[in-house]
Structure 1
Amino acid sequence: MQPHVQGCPTIVVDQAITRAAIEFCQKTGVWRYDHVPVAAVEATTAYSFAPPDGAKVERVLAAWLDGVPLTVKNATDLLGVDDWKTATGTPTHLVVLNDTQFRLYPLGAGSVDLTVTLKPSRAATTIDDAIFEAHVDAIADGAIGKLAALPGKPWSSADLVTYHTGEFDKAIDDATIREFQHAPMRTANPPL
């Protein structure tokens, strides 16, 4: 990357790489992770996600309670359900509260398994080797595009922004299509 952004401090380059990797993983879902099982306990209203160091959960793809599939919802999806915060029983839903926590609806006990997508955290110093190796050129294009867009810098360049941002966007589209092609097809929406 340095030949494209000569004079750019290494720390700024590193930050741009992290930002590009975060965006790439957010938009494509390529970094899949089988979350460690979570022991659910009666009346517990929130559980923390436990991604690997340097990562954050981006999306819950699927969840199971004792091997039985749970419907994954966001908290806003249940705003019209009067008892969603207090009901107890056999959980049927995993409710994503925010990017660090989830809960079960209704509240109940069992072993929760999750498949999620991850993204690097802002403080990450590394990314999963397989993800980086498979998408290093795309991430570099994204970082170069971000750096070249910084106004008034010796490495600023509208031409570099246009080219590298275009390559980054194409790589995101290609990776997203590949992920979609490998996803299981669903023929009917699950009931609420």
Structure 2
Amino acid sequence: MHYVDELLPEALIAAPGCPETVVERMLRVAATDFYRASLAWRVTTEVVPVIAGRRDVELELPADTTPLRLYWVRLDDAPLDAISERNLPPAREGTPTGYAKLTDHTLRLDRVPQVNYRRNGLVAHLAVTPTVQCDDLPDELFYAHRDGILSGGVARLMAMPNVLWSNPALAQAHYALMADHVTRARREADALSAPVVRKVRYGGL
């Protein structure tokens, strides 16, 4: 969904006289702020092959996004422990049991794998935020969070000083609306990402 095009008409009405390019910019910044605060854009990566002899693994994320938080990483369907880069052990062969984040897209395993992991490679679950260059949001995210992003964009526009559309009081009201949407979005994302607790019932004799 090209979210800026969808929200632009409503934002222009809220800021009469504002140049369209400024409104577009504020909507993009609002989307970045919304997902940075809510951590509501959760992504589970495709399986990334891990090659024998290579410790570094490159994550593939949606275009024009920045990772915010890693929730879990699995290799061969087993969870890996998160460790700091400075605590990475020297390069030794073995079965990886942990990882460190080197850059936004690169993880380094704590052991040099001795075998290839292809179909059973590395999978990560993380929160991302769109950059201001991002044009498209997944449809389900846009429809769930459109009002929060719009409120954030309108708040930024109305908070601008010395312009015809400036309205500090309404800006605060829209910031409050955005904050409510952020809280709700984060709660819903956390609920969807929560591990399933399976109850086992044992029958008696």
Q: TM-score, normalised by structure 2?
A: 0.78
Structure ID, larger Rg:
2
1:129 aligns with 2:134: no
Q: Secondary structure at the match of 1:36?
A: coil
* C-alpha distance in 2 between matches for 1:90 and 1:7: 62
Across the aligned residues of Structure 1 and Structure 2, the Cα RMSD in angstroms comes to: 2.2
* Pairing of 1:18-33 with structure 2 (within 5 A): 18-33=28-43
Shift of the 48–121 alpha-carbon distance from structure 1 to 2, 3 Å rule, reads farther
**Matches of 1:19 and 1:42, distance apart in 2:** 41
Alignment equivalent of 1:60, drawn from 67, 70, 73: 70
Name 1:105's counterpart in structure 2. Answer: 110
Contact 2:55 2:111 in 1 (8 A): no
Q: Assess if the C-alpha contact under 8 Å between 1:71 and 1:93 holds in 2.
A: yes
Report the equivalent of 2:101. 96
2:29 maps to 1:5:
no
Percent of aligned positions with the same letter in both sequences? 23
Residue 88 of structure 1 deviates from its aligned partner by 3.6
What is the TM-score normalised by the length of structure 1? 0.82
Task: Give the corresponding residue for 1:189.
Answer: none
- CA separation of 1:173 and 1:37: change in aligned 2, threshold 3 A: same
Out of 45, 48, 56, the residue aligned to residue 46 of structure 1 is 56
1:166 equivalenced with 2:176 (yes/no): yes
Q: Distance in 2 between matches of 1:138 and 1:24?
A: 7
Q: Which letter maps to 1:107?
A: V
Query: Residue 5 of structure 1 contacts residue 155 of structure 1 at CA under 8 Å; is this kept in 2?
Result: yes
In structure 2, give the amino acid aligned to 1:57: P
CA contact (8 A) 2:85 2:102 kept: no
Structure 1 SS opposite 2:14: helix
CA contact (8 A) 2:156 2:171 kept: yes
Q: 3-state DSSP class of the match of 1:53? A: coil
1:179 is paired with a residue whose SS is helix
Partner Cα separation in structure 1 for residue 158 and residue 53 of structure 2: 51
Native 8 Å contact 2:85 2:101 kept in 1: no
Name the CA shift for 1:11/1:84 in 2 (closer, same or farther; >3 Å).
Answer: farther
Other-structure match for 2:89: 84
Equivalent of 2:82, from 72, 75, 89? 72
For 1:149, the aligned partner's letter is A
C-alpha distance in structure 2 between counterparts of 1:169 and 1:127, whole Å: 20
Are 2:97 and 2:110, in contact at CA under 8 Å, matched by a contact in 1?
yes
> Residue 187 of structure 2 aligns with which residue?
177
